[in-house]
Structures are given as C-alpha cells and as structure tokens.
Structure 1
C-alpha cells in the first residue's frame, strides 16, 4: 500500500469505521499473494480491478449511471430480449418480492435495461445503482455480480465484502449469464439485496432461482428464433421433460444444430466442443426422421435418447411451426418461374397473378420500381412463363438498336427505358414497328408519364411500350424479406454457413436503399469476411444511410405492414426514433391488421 493510500486508510477509519479499513487491508493482502479465504473468483477480480483497471480500493465510488439517451439506445438494442424475458422475470419477482429482492436485466455491456423492485425503496435503490441505467461493468464498478458474470461467463454470487468498491459492500448480488442461440453471452440476470444476512450461503436459493429463470429465458428465446425448425428438448429426468427441460437445440432439415440453449453445451458437449453446425446424429443415436417419435403422445419415460458416449437422456421434439400466414393467399397456382420470384407477400401476390395472366400474351409490359428491386429478374420470369423462345436484354443507355434487326423472335427486354435520348427513342420506335415478332418488356426507375409530361419522351413510343404496367415495391415495403434472405443465402448455406439471430435481425431492420442488389452484396461480403460458419453482426458491412424523406400516412401504413408492426424495425428503416413512429401512428389513427 502506498503512503498516500495509508493516509486515506486513516481517514476512512475515522469516518467510516473499522469495517471499511479491514476490507481495504484484505484487498492489499490478496494483492501481495496471501490467501484470505475469499473465493478464487473474487480474488482474481480484485487483482484485475487494481492491476488492469487502475482502481483504488480506498475510494468509495458512487454508482455509474448512463445518460437517458444512452439508456434508450441500450434498451432499443435489447428490445427483443426484454420482450422475451419480461413475463418470466415478472413471475420471478413475484416469488422474491417479499424478501426485498430487486431484479436487474443487464445487457452484454453491463447496463441495466430492465428492472423490477419495490417502489417504496426507489431512492435507496437508485443510490446503490440497483436501477435502470446503472452500468455494472467490472472496469467501472469493480468486483460485482453483473460485471464478474460478464468476465467469467458463469453464474456468480458477489456477497457483501466480496465487492471491491466500498460503496457496494452492503449489497449481495447473484447473477447468471443469458446466452443467445449461437452461444454468445447477450445479457445478465441479477437478483440483489440492499442488505442481507451475513452468511454467503444465505444466497443459495437466489442462485437456484436465477439459474432456473435464465434457463427459461434462453428456452423462450430459442423457440421464438427458430419457429420454422425442429427443436429437441432434453432432460435427465422424464418428470420435467415437457414443463421445464434442462436444455434444447434447434435443428435444420438435414439434422444440423443451428441454435441452442447454453445448457445444451454442458449436456451434449461436456468437453467444451462447439455444437453449432454439428449433426445431431454425431452426438446422439438419433436422426431427423426419428424426431416425430419424440413428440407428445408417448409417455415421457419412453422417449429415451442414447448419447454416443453411452449416457442416457430423455427427449421431447417440437415440430416446425407453419410459416406466418400472409394477409392474402395465392388463390391460383403460379408458373414455377413466377412462384419462385417472391415469398408470401400480400403486396406482390396480386402483381404476380397479373404477370402470370399476361405472360402468354404479346401485350407490351412496363416494369417500374427503384433500382435493385428485381425488374430484370421479373422480366425473365414472365418470359419463361410464356411461349417466347429467345430473350434479348438491352441496356438502353448508349444502346445501338440497329444491331437487333436480325435478332431471333422472342422477348426484348429494355433495361432503363427512361435513359433513352431522343435519337435512341426514334431508333427503338423504328425497330419495334418492323419487328412485330419481338414482345417488348421495358423497365424504368420512375413513371414514364413524368418524362412524357415534360416533353422529353415521345408519346407514340410511350403508348407502344406501356400496354400494362407492373410496379415493384422497394425491399423496405416487402413482407417476405426473411424468405428473400434465406434464398440469397443458399449459395453459402451449401457450405454450412448461416446467419446468427442478431445478424438476421439487423438485416431485417435495415432500410435497403439499394434494395435486393444491396442485400445480395451485403451477404456476399459477410460470407467472405466471416472466420467461421456463422455470420454475426461484426461481419456485416455498414449500411447505407437510411431514408430520411417524409413519408405519407399511407406509406407509413405500408412500411409497418412490411415490418409486421415491429415499431423498432420500422423506425430503423426510416432513420427516426421509435417514439416518432408511435406518435405518428397515434396521430394518424393507424392500427395493425386484424
């Protein structure tokens, strides 16, 4: 201990009593290598506090509270987790409220984003940092439940004098980590007391409760994130198999593990090996075809699983849930090329039905939509759904139409018809007048009527091209973005690559000003830079700036429908705060369908 520290110790002894002096002296003995009887986890944390974080044990640091703006940002990033965990945490709080416990849900950065406590003690809880917005990272708060849990990745009880900071020594904090479906620590659940009985063993019940709650939160999160996949729940006891299983994994159609609760690692890979990407039959004497036999309908004690290492477990399989029902069903069978253009989407369904009826005809078509919305792909799907043989794609900017005089009969796709100058317009008109065996499909980024009104587009050519008009929605207004992501991931999925739930949520929330083309490039870049088989948030390139122009109430309704009324996702796509979306929804009197 330095001379300055000794002076501060004497001041502490005079002001705060011998207990604080003894605490600081014990930390000093631990730093000098002496065994004081503290848990090794606590001793290691004390060393980090001094040697890595430069903390002074003689200073009584106040609680660290983030700003309101920072808290909003942390809560928005944790919105899905908060919603998933809240009902379970409310049930836990009802169990322990009578013992004056407070519950904190902290994100992976140690900031409390949800809170349950007795309002009668709100002032004391705020002062102690047991409240919304408190930052309990170890490098700020010293040895503490949340911070030490994040560092170790394990459930911990930091009881009274285990804390490094003098201001926290009256507290007793029991924390357990919450892992996402890919095995990454995503949050911490903490149950704390302002004051507690002296024995650390008095918190054993708190440890059991917090571990059980975390297990249920992870289970709920896995079920929410893998609705379209098989889920296999396992337990060492048949009695709790269906009501409170110990662990679970999600499986794709080939039997590969694509998601898990943290307990699955301890049960299925006790040696510490990775589970994500492994085939279930490499771990258990079980194939995907056997899963229906493990569903409800058979006694739990008959659903026995044999692990490859000889151990036995009980299993309960949950079948994939049906895909979300679109607002409109496709009431007619589409030709295969058009059926593969989009997933269930109430906006695109009527457009594709119209395209299917027009495909066999010779009616000229005008496809409009923002850049990257798939206009050429739709043109090819219409061509393949009709009788035409050859497909000629021409970029209108700088095109020489005289080279098409001898082209084979079929479909002439004019890409970017709004880029034609007056000379090219005349040449195109001459071509289509001579070649009536060419069925014309043109695309434009904006309605041609605008150029027609300006006098920069020939009216005789306009009426030749716009027999029927199909308007493609931008990606931000499509309802099938999840389906589209899966389709664009197919080339990479063949090698076992997949998106983490966090990466998928980020992709679903982006504005996509470059539409499908931008999404395709984003996935290709992420697949190239990721070091494993799971594309996670750091692998995604930064998004283009979000749309900032004003949107009408009708456009806002369409955007909310496309986001399935997820306010945070809609706000991200518009580049505004969630509160702005809520205010506009109330003002316009908008409401979700049904």
Structure 2
C-alpha cells in the first residue's frame, strides 16, 4: 500500500489543529488501511434511501436551511459552496452556484453522498463528525491525493442533548491555502453553526427560560434551560462540557445556582454571575420574577447581586 508520511501535515499553525489532522491520518493508515493514491468516489444513496435516512435529520434540515442560505450569500464571491451533513457524514443539503457544478459532479458533493472518514479518508465533513471539533483542511491535507486541491472548512453542529447532529462545511476546489481570511471564514462558519445549535435548543425547550453560563469560546454556546423552579431541564454541548453534566445529571433536574455554587473555581463564579444577569434580562429587571425563575428567595438574589456588583 502506498502511504504518505504523517510529517507532511502542512495546514495549520495551531497545535490542536495539527493534532486533529495527524490523528485522522493515523486512523486512515492504521485503522482504515486506506491507500492515499487510490481514486475514490462517494457512494450516493438512491432517492428512496435518501428520503428515509434524511428524515432522521428533518429538524436539523429545517433549522439549518435559512442559515445555510445566509452563509452562502456571505461566501459566494469567494468560490465556496456550503454543505450540511448528518452525524454519519451523509450530505443532507447543498448551496452551490453553477461554477461549482463540475466539481460537485466529479466528487459527488451532493445530497445522499456519504463522506465518512472511514471510507473517504481525512476530509472536512467526515473528520469533523468523527472528532466532534472544527477543522480546516488546506491544499494536500486530505488523506487521498485526489482531493489535493480541495479546500475545506467544517464545524460540528450539536443537538439539544449535546450530541453531534451533523456538520456544516465550506468547500472549494481552487487549491488556495494559507489565505489571510482562513480564520475569518472559520469564525463565520462557527457562528452559523452556533446559531443553528441555539435554534435547535430553543425549539426543544420552548416555553422555558434559556440562560447563558458565559461567553462562547468554541463551536457550542454554553446555554441551559431551566423551569419555573430554577431546575435544570437541558444543557447544550458546551454547558455539559464545562460543568461536567451528563444526561443522568440533567434527568435529576438539579437547581442551577446550587450546581454553580458547588464549584470553587472563578469560572463557576463568573458563570453564576452570567446566569443572574441573564435571568434579570429575561424578567426585564423584575427581581422577584427573576428570583422565582431561579428557584431562590428574593433576599438571596439581592445578596448575590450585591456580591457581583449588579445594580
């Protein structure tokens, strides 16, 4: 088998990005035993199969459709297309113009095409859902040589239970890499992914209060939903990762502020402050209503507001 040396990773200046691609290349070589010189064409589900499989992602498709169109209008002049995939790396939807059609036909970048890492090798969609993290693949960073000119930016999208619901992908075949706008494109893509995640989360917990634990630092926003007693009913991927919550934790509906108070680090104190500010914003400054929503007394809320310098 013709293998490519793993030291040829040339796409990133950040350690985490390099590690992500290197781990993917190692999987391609050792776990999947893929020949990088072998040409490959994606399997594409027939119409009936695609309708059956894509129905599992109907909610994602509905929530992502408008965001995909918005994203496409932002990047269209850069020669990029927008792709949405399910958690198994099957393409669900595509926004592309006529200049992309020949590439789409050649690589089967179309609805129903399966781009899992196990069969396609390192690629934006497949590696993104495999590692549950954003990835940028510049020229020569894909495992297969036939994708050497494919440029790919991808971010995972998480559902209301913190699981990977799919991936959002920007792709082109122009072979350009190390562009000054790469970081800007990744951040724009991440923002689109977070907006889709937030809409999925809000729809799932409609009628409940949605609060934030803090600022966004990745592909997922740290949001929680709480009921009228201040009990946690749901949390996004970022909130679960930060707080160490599991499905079992959330199923027990613990009180949000009690959970935050148990943490001794400054980050937990900041999260508690953000929750209080968020609750006050939701109640439009009504302290009594905010305290009731958080499941604490008004006196306790006033004490916490004073400790955080909230007027």
Q: Name the TM-score class by shorter chain.
A: 0.7 to 0.9
1:88 maps to 67
Q: Alpha carbons of 1:227 and 1:98: their partners in 2 closer, same or farther (altered >3 Å)?
A: same
The answer on whether the counterparts of 2:28 and 2:121 sit within 8 Å (CA) in structure 1 is: yes
The answer on whether the counterparts of 2:168 and 2:193 sit within 8 Å (CA) in structure 1 is: yes
Q: Distance in 1 between matches of 2:38 and 2:175?
A: 23
1:456 maps to none
Q: Residues 352-373 of structure 1, C-alpha deviation per residue, up to 9 Å, x if partnerless?
A: xxxxxxxxxxxxxxxxxxxxxx
Q: Alpha carbons of 1:308 and 1:103: their partners in 2 closer, same or farther (altered >3 Å)?
A: closer
Q: Distance in 2 between matches of 1:103 and 1:51?
A: 31
1:457 maps to none
Q: Distance in 1 between matches of 2:194 and 2:177?
A: 28
Please give the secondary structure, in 1, of the residue aligned with 2:92: strand
The answer on whether the counterparts of 1:155 and 1:175 sit within 8 Å (CA) in structure 2 is: yes
1:225 maps to 204
Q: Distance in 2 between matches of 1:200 and 1:276?
A: 43
Q: Distance in 2 between matches of 1:78 and 1:190?
A: 16
| Equivalent position to 2:154, from 175, 178, 181 | 175
Q: Residues 294-317 of structure 1, C-alpha deviation per residue, up to 9 Å, x if partnerless?
A: xxxxxxxxxxxx977333553434
Q: 1:188: how far off?
A: 0.8
Q: Alpha carbons of 1:69 and 1:166: their partners in 2 closer, same or farther (altered >3 Å)?
A: farther
2:278 maps to 316
The answer on whether the counterparts of 1:63 and 1:127 sit within 8 Å (CA) in structure 2 is: no
1:256 maps to 231
Q: Distance in 1 between matches of 2:66 and 2:154?
A: 18
Q: Distance in 2 between matches of 1:221 and 1:137?
A: 24
Q: 1:255: how far off?
A: 2.7
User: Are 2:244 and 1:276 aligned?
Assistant: no
Q: Alpha carbons of 1:83 and 1:138: their partners in 2 closer, same or farther (altered >3 Å)?
A: same
Q: Distance in 2 between matches of 1:99 and 1:184?
A: 31
Q: Distance in 2 between matches of 1:92 and 1:112?
A: 17
Q: Alpha carbons of 1:112 and 1:37: their partners in 2 closer, same or farther (altered >3 Å)?
A: closer
Q: How does 1:17-166 map to 2 (within 5 A)?
A: 27=4, 29-30=5-6, 35-38=7-10, 39-166=18-145
The answer on whether the counterparts of 1:173 and 1:191 sit within 8 Å (CA) in structure 2 is: yes
Q: Distance in 2 between matches of 1:63 and 1:141?
A: 7
1:195 maps to 174
1:360 maps to none
Q: Distance in 2 between matches of 1:137 and 1:100?
A: 24
Q: Distance in 1 between matches of 2:110 and 2:185?
A: 19
Q: Distance in 2 between matches of 1:204 and 1:125?
A: 25
The answer on whether the counterparts of 1:219 and 1:247 sit within 8 Å (CA) in structure 2 is: no
Q: 1:75: how far off?
A: 2.1
Structure 2 stretches lacking a partner, 5+ long: 11-17, 284-311
Q: 1:200: how far off?
A: 6.3
Q: 1:40: how far off?
A: 2.3
Q: Alpha carbons of 1:57 and 1:308: their partners in 2 closer, same or farther (altered >3 Å)?
A: closer
The answer on whether the counterparts of 1:181 and 1:261 sit within 8 Å (CA) in structure 2 is: yes
Q: Distance in 2 between matches of 1:37 and 1:122?
A: 29
Superposition TM-score, scaled by structure 2 size: 0.75
2:299 maps to none
Q: Distance in 1 between matches of 2:222 and 2:199?
A: 11
Please give the secondary structure, in 1, of the residue aligned with 2:21: helix
Q: Residues 166-217 of structure 1, C-alpha deviation per residue, up to 9 Å, x if partnerless?
A: 2211111111111111111111111111214232664222210111011111
Please give the secondary structure, in 2, of the residue aligned with 1:174: strand
The answer on whether the counterparts of 2:198 and 2:221 sit within 8 Å (CA) in structure 1 is: no
Please give the secondary structure, in 1, of the residue aligned with 2:268: coil
Q: Distance in 1 between matches of 2:266 and 2:260?
A: 4
Q: How does 1:382-401 map to 2 (within 5 A)?
A: none
The answer on whether the counterparts of 2:81 and 2:100 sit within 8 Å (CA) in structure 1 is: no
Higher relative contact order (CA 8 A, sep 6+): 2
Q: 1:260: how far off?
A: 2.4
Q: 1:235: how far off?
A: 4.2
The answer on whether the counterparts of 2:160 and 2:201 sit within 8 Å (CA) in structure 1 is: yes
The answer on whether the counterparts of 1:74 and 1:113 sit within 8 Å (CA) in structure 2 is: no
Superposition TM-score, scaled by structure 1 size: 0.41
